[in-house]
Structure 1
Amino acid sequence: MAGYRDLLRTPGVGRMIVSQLTARFPSGMTSLAVLLHVEQQTGSYGAAGLVLAATSVGQAVAGPVTSRWMGVWGMRRVLSLTTSVCVLALLALGLLPLNLAGYMAFGMLAGLSTPPIQSAVRTIYPKLVNSSQLTPLFSLDASLQEIIWILAPVVITLVSTQVGTAEGLLLVAIIMVLGCGWFISAPELGRVRIPRSRRKLGKVLAKPPVLLATVIGFLLIGACSAVEVGVVANFDHGSLEAGIVLAVFAVGSLVGGLSFGHIPIGPWAIARRMLIVTVGLALTMVVLNIFWLGGALLLAGLGVAPALAVLFAITTASVKFSETAEAFGWAGTGQLIGAASGSAIAGFLVDGTGGPQGAYLAAALFAIVGVIVAVSCVRFLPDLRHRDPSPYPDTEPVSTITPT
């Protein structure tokens, strides 16, 4: 913890971490707020699911594009524009009398305009700290984001069920304005400029570590989403037991990230951490009571934030600085698709088997494939134990005036 205290004393680090967590807090609220509101207005969970699908598609498509825009127009302009549009779309969802097509249209608009906060802050991090502090910083970031997934669903559920679903969406919009405004106003955004990328959109995926980080992130988040479906199916919908077990899962990730964040990252790091997740998720199929599931998910959680930290680090270390935002945009898209795929597959298996075991099996299989991919592709993963994990500098010809 002394290392993390020193890290937080570095000028700008604490402000960046807290402001970006505040700006990203709505990401843990939006899906549930939209689900509850659309279901209440239409009386159909199917309709609500279609709106959520439209929102997710928008987020997945926009991630790499808006992240890349930051190198063209600057971080503040892109973040201000996307925040404004997203807030207006959320207000329209909450306040306008819409039919299903209208809800889907504004849901997709909200997804397309989701501010690329993650890409921005993870592009700024290498400019705030020295190379020896970068891996612990990524680990701290991955750990503290669990606070969002612990608190945000509780907050939005309380507001939407006790006050109103429109008020829930209004709260999401208010927090987005305040959080993104705080992040955008940070002086670090003015001091860090992302160079314009000279390569075509998507070319960054030709780098094996970036592609692997995207694929493994898809599998890791797919596993987490599948197990969440299993826990909800295991207990009554909205029950206290389900909330407790999922909170334990998030706490395990928080503890794991803080405990293992200082460990140097070698080529086998992601495989070892994914193995921890796999073992924990496999144990969920043994006994279905709250104590066993809590223990199994606590173990699985110990590997989640450390695994994400490795994915962040190998992405940063494998690209030029001008490509970091787009690379993280693709990683975010992979994780969004993983979340949707994991939830959908787990849901079908729960219906097909008549119980949560199908979802737990899906979660374990996602994680097992993640281990297999990490092991089989280990030769493509960088060894960061004895090298600077910062992105490569951008170089280009410099015009000079020579005497004639």
Structure 2
Amino acid sequence: MAGYRDLLRTPGVGRIIAAQLTARFPSGMTSLALLMHIEHVTGTYGAAGLVLAAASVGQAVSGPITSRWMGFWGMRRVLSLTTVVCAIALAGIGLLVLPIGAYMALGMLAGLSTPPVQSAVRTIYPKMVNSRQLTPLFSLDASLQEIIWILAPVVITVVATQAGTVVGILMVVVILLAGGSWFILSPELGRVRIPRSRRRLGKVLARPPVLLATMMGFLLVGACAAVEAGVIATFGEGGLQAGIVLAVFSIGSLAGGLLSGGIPIGRWAMARRMAIVAVGLVVTTFSLNVWWLGGSLLVAGIGVAPALAVMFAMTTASVKFSDTAEAFGWVGTGQLIGAAAGSAVAGFLIDASGPTGAYWTAAVFAVVGLIVSVVSVRGFPDLRFRDAAPMPDTEPVRTIMS
């Protein structure tokens, strides 16, 4: 923990972490808010799954593009535009009574305009700390983001069930605008400019670690999305238990991430961490009892943040600085396509066979992730004897000192 204290004493690190966590707080609320609102309006989880899938596909399409735009037009311009458009789309879903196709269109617009906060902050990190601190910083970031998943599900569940699903969505909009403004106005965004990448869009995927991180993100987040749908279906949109169980899932992830921050990342790191997730999610299929689900998801969560930290570190270490934002955009795309697939499959299986279908979906995603990480172990970089800093560009990085 001493290493984390040193990190937080580094000028600007604590501030940018707090700002980006606030800006990303809606990401822990939006899926649940849409799931509860669309199910409430249409009476079917299948329709809700389609809207969530549309939003996730929109994010998946836009992730690499908006991330790359930050090298052309600057981080603040891209983040400001996307934040405003996303807020308008979400407000439309909450305030308008529409057919399912129109809800899907607005969901896709919200996804297309999702602010690329993750790509921005993880591109900034290497310029804020020394290379030795970068891997621990990624572990801390992956761990602290679980605060979002601990608090946000509880907050949105309480608000949506007590004040209504429309109020829940409007609260997401307010936090999106307020948190986004804090992050956009952070001094760190004005001190670093991303050089324009000279490569074609998508060329960065030719690097095996980036492709593997994208695939693993698809499988891991697909499993988590299926869990989210399953928990809501198990306890109903009116049950506070749903938010609590999802918070327990995130507490496991938070603990796992903090404890793994000092462990060197070798080639087998991803496989070991995915094994924990897979075991926990397979066990969830045995019973829908709240205590059983809480315990099994706590175990599964222990592997989530550590697995994400491996993805972040291997991505940064494998590309040039000018390609970092786009690389993280593709990793995010993998995660969001996984969320779309996990939500959609789980939604239809819930309608067909009940909540257990969602947990089987999550278990299959996690087991496939474990298999991929074992079969492709040679494609994962060994970072035990090197740092996770990006490779240097041929042109210098422009830094503005305020």
Same fold, TM-score > 0.5, yes or no? yes
RMSD over aligned CA atoms reads 2.2
What is the aligned length? 396
**What is the identity, as a one-letter code, of the residue corresponding to 1:289?**
N
Q: Which residue of 1 aligns with 2:103?
A: 103
State the partner residue of 1:309.
Answer: 309
- Structure 2 Cα separation of the partners of residues 248 and 213 of structure 1: 26
1:119 deviation in Å? 0.4
Question: 1:32 aligned to 2:3?
Answer: no
User: Could you say which residue in structure 2 is the equivalent of 1:179?
Assistant: 179
Shift of 1:94: 3.4
**Alignment check: 8 A CA contact 1:197 1:322 kept:** yes
Over 3 Å counting, the alpha-carbon distance change for 1:184 and 1:243 in structure 2 is: closer
Instruction: Measure how far apart 1:152 and its partner are.
Output: 1.6
Amino acid at match of 2:362: A
Aligned match of 1:372: 371
Shift of 1:39: 4.8
Residue identity in the other structure for 1:298: L
Structure 2 SS opposite 1:216? helix
Q: 1:285 deviation in Å?
A: 3.2
CA contact (8 A) 1:232 1:238 kept: no
Shift in alpha-carbon separation, 1:273–1:184, aligned structure 2, 3 A = same
Residue type at the aligned position of 1:385: R
In structure 2, distance between residues paired with 1:258 and 1:395: 35
- Tell me, what secondary structure is at the counterpart of 1:76? helix
The one-letter amino acid of 1:202's match is G
Whether 1:15 and 2:9 are equivalent positions in the alignment is no
Cα deviations across residues 150-205 of structure 1 (Å, max 9, x unaligned)?
Answer: 22222223333333443333322221111111111111111111111111111111
Match of 1:227 in 2: 227
Letter in 2 for 1:372: I
Range moving further from structure 2, 338-347 or 262-271: 338-347
- Structure 1 Cα separation of the partners of residues 146 and 359 of structure 2: 21
Secondary structure in 2 aligned to 1:198?
Answer: coil
Instruction: Say whether residues 1:137 and 2:137 are aligned partners.
Output: yes
User: How far apart, in 2, do the equivalents of 1:348 and 1:371 lie?
Assistant: 25
Q: CA deviation at 1:355?
A: 4.8
Q: Which consecutive unaligned segments of at least 5 residues does structure 1 have?
A: 398-404
Using the size of structure 1 for normalisation, the TM-score is 0.91
Assess, with a 3 A threshold, how the Cα gap between structure 1 residues 359 and 36 changes in structure 2: closer, same or farther.
closer
Post-superposition offset of 1:146: 1.3
DSSP 3-state at the match of 2:324: helix
Computing the radius of gyration over CA atoms, which structure comes out larger, 1 or 2? 1
Comparing 239-248 and 25-34, the one that deviates more: 239-248
Q: Matches of 1:258 and 1:183 in 2, distance apart? A: 24
Alignment match, 1:392: 391
Inter-CA distance 155–113: structure 2 relative to 1 (3 Å threshold): same
Equivalence for 2:207: 207
* Cross-structure match for 1:56: 56
Alignment partners' CA distance in 1, 2:4 and 2:305: 15
**Once structures 1 and 2 are overlaid, which stretch shifts more, 28-37 or 42-51?**
42-51
Counterparts of 1:124 and 1:333 in 2: how far apart (Å)? 19
Alignment pair present for 1:258 and 2:253: no
User: Under a length normalisation based on structure 2, what TM-score does the superposition of the two structures give?
Assistant: 0.91
The code of the aligned residue for 1:184 comes to: I
Gaps of 5+ in 2: 397-402
Mapped contact 1:276–1:300 kept (Cα < 8 A) = yes
Runs of 4 or more, structure 1, over 6 Å off, are none
What's the CA shift string for 1:260-292, capped at 9, x where partnerless? 111111111111111111122222234443333
Taking a change above 3 Å as real, the CA distance of residues 160 and 282 of structure 1, as seen in their structure-2 partners, is closer
Letter of the 1:137 counterpart: L
Counterpart of 2:105, as a letter, is: A
Aligned counterparts, 1:265-304, within 5 A = 265-304=265-304
Task: Please name the residue that 1:362 is paired with.
Answer: 361
Q: 1:402 is matched with which residue?
A: none
Deviations 1:119-159 (A, max 9, x none): 00011111111112111111111111111122222222333
The one-letter code of the counterpart of 2:329 is G
Distance across 1 between alignment mates of 2:239 and 2:165: 19
Deviation at 1:209, TM superposition (A): 0.3
Question: 2:255 touches 2:302 (CA, 8 Å); kept in 1?
Answer: yes
> Larger relative contact order (C-alpha < 8 A, sep ≥ 6)?
2
Q: Which residue of 1 aligns with 2:321?
A: 321
The 3 A distance-change label for structure 1 pair 238 and 340 is: farther
Take 2:167 and 2:288, find their aligned partners in 1: how far apart are those partners?
36
Distance 1:39 1:27 in 2: 19
Identity fraction in percent: 74
Q: Distance in 2 between matches of 1:150 and 1:93?
A: 25
AA at the equivalent of 1:340:
A
CA contact (8 A) 2:46 2:348 kept: no
SS of 2:302's equivalent in the other structure is helix
Bigger Cα displacement from structure 2, 328-337 vs 237-246: 237-246
Mapped partners of 1:97, 1:361: distance in 2: 33
Q: Is the 8 A contact 1:143 1:258 kept in 2?
A: yes
Q: Which one-letter code corresponds to 1:247 in the other structure?
A: A
Report the Cα distance in structure 2 between the residues aligned to 1:288 and 1:41, rounded to whole angstroms.
Answer: 26
Give per-residue Cα distances to partners, 1:291-318, cap 9 Å, x unaligned.
Answer: 3332222121111100100000000000
Structure 2 partner of 1:383 = 382
Q: State the one-letter code of the partner of 1:315.
A: T
* Distance in 2 between residues matched to 1:265 and 1:12, nearest whole Å: 26
| Worse-superposed segment, 287-296 or 320-329 | 287-296
Mapped to 1, the partners of 2:44 and 2:286 lie a distance apart of 34
Say whether the 8 Å CA contact 2:274–2:369 is kept in structure 1. Answer: yes
Structure 2 CA distance for aligned equivalents of residues 130 and 171 of structure 1: 38
Letter aligned with residue 153 of structure 1 = P
**Aligned CA distance change for structure 1 residues 54 and 222 (closer, same or farther; 3 Å):** closer
Counterpart CA distance in 1 for 2:185 and 2:111 is 23
* Distance 1:240-1:174 versus aligned 2 partners, 3 A rule: closer
- Would you say the 8 A contact 2:23–2:178 is kept in 1? yes
